[in-house]
Amino acid sequence: MSASVIRKLGTELIHHPYSPPPGFAAPQPGVFKASSVFFPNVAAMRQFEWKDKTAYTYGLHGTPTTYTLEERLCTLEGGRQCLLTPSGLAAIATVSLALLKSGDEVLLPDNVYGPSKALAKGELANWGISHRFFDPMHPHDLAAKIGPNTRLVWLEAAGSVTLEFPDLCEQVRICKAAGVLCALDNTWGAGLAFQPFDLHPGARPELAVDISIHALTKYPSGGGDVLMGSIITVDEALHMKLKLCHMRLGLGVAANDAEAVLRGLPSLMLRYQAHDEAARALAQWSLTRGEFAQVLHPALPQSPGHAQWCRLCHTGPGGAAGLFSVIFKPYYSQAQVDAFCDALQLFEIGYSWGGPVSLVMPYALAQMRQVWPDQLQAGTLVRFSVGLEAVTDLQADLQQALKNFA
Ligand SMILES: *Cc1c(COP(=O)(O)O)cnc(C)c1O
């Protein structure tokens, strides 16, 4: 080939005249990957607005793939606007950074997702933003702790690891009465167990959280192979404040990851129901075992906050996530509890949840809390995330691991 033919080929392979015919329809939306996005001319480039999703300006600000995922997540959670972040924790951090400044205070429930505490203690404190923890099971403690500098209250239902179910409606009512924004970590409910923007469906539409964040890493992904978060709102001005911070921080998600979550959404409800049914069966079975001082799952009448769970969530399949925890009787040593975890064959030792594989993790609760909660028994806590394996096999696995450990 002559040098000029080679040069021409090099250009033609980039600027190719072929466009596929329009009208392609298939179950899944396409994956659009871009940093650069082309404008038809300079005037159009100057005119295009990235904020309102009427066009495209830059890959970081949205592609057809991410817009589609955002809209579907709004439908899932009953919100109007959505931002995507590279992880659930990044969604939490973005909300705090967008809404808080030096001199402000943020309140967190004492059973909040652990890294959310670390963010407040480690980073927000450096920015001159203070924090306090409130007792999630006593709404009057939240009311008492809201002070003149409180600008944001984080809420979580059920609580991380210990799964106490708070009176979310009362907590939201307290925040509204004080004129303080409330943000919910809605990862457990996943938009399915209850509606964060309509906590009293029909009756009291004003009872809504201001912001719902969701670790899509968990159930929406469903594969244990994607990290992503979302920030959902119903108020346009609040959304815009969050969106500007999100844009300035340069947060975005990869198109292949967005596609993976889009692929997970059609089966989300069925998976969530299956995780729920299996976790309830195993939690119920755990109640019959003498090794445990307490079994924590909001659908169990003995579990802290059960009455609140009954009021907020529908109690049938899909009314709870696939998580439960046990507290071993205090005479079992940490080494014995560790040996129990090691003896499990189907439950892998790992953080996170929402995927097909069941997971187990021991937690040092005393180091995670300001005070040992009065509704929890003393002893070592183990949290289970129930996957999609056959529940009889999972029960047999728990049974064999318990058999030899004492
Ligand atoms: C996992 C989780 C997060 C964080 O999600 P990542 O994507 O792992 O950062 C936040 N909140 C809750 C309740 C979680 O379980």
- Residue pLDDT, tens place only, 133-143: 999 999 999 99
Q: Angle of helix 334-343 relative to helix 391-403, nearest 10 degrees?
A: 140
Is the torsion defined by CA of 283, 286, 287, 288 positive or negative?
positive
- Stated pTM of the model: 0.96
pLDDT at 55 over 80: yes
pLDDT of residue 299: 98
Span from the CA of 82 to the centroid of ligand 1 (angstroms): 17
Under the banding of pLDDT at 50, 70 and 90, the label for residue 204 is low
For the purposes of burial, counting CB atoms within 10 Å of the CB of 43, is it exposed (0-12), middle (13-18) or buried (19 or more)? exposed
What is residue 152's three-state secondary structure?
strand
Percent helix, strand, coil in the chain (nearest 5)? Answer: 40, 15, 45
Among 49-53, 63-67, 241-245, 335-339, the minimum mean pLDDT is found in 49-53
Q: List the residue whose alpha carbon is closest to atom 6 of ligand 1.
A: 88
Average pLDDT over all residues of the chain: 95
Span from the CA of 16 to the centroid of ligand 1 (angstroms): 43
d(CA 149, CA 304): 31
pLDDT at 48 over 90: no
pLDDT of residue 406: 59
| Ligand 1 residue neighbourhood (C-beta within 6 Å) | 87-89, 113, 160, 185, 187, 215, 217-218, 227, 229, 352
pLDDT at 203 over 70: no
Domains of the chain: 42-266 (3.40.640.10), 268-405 (3.90.1150.10)
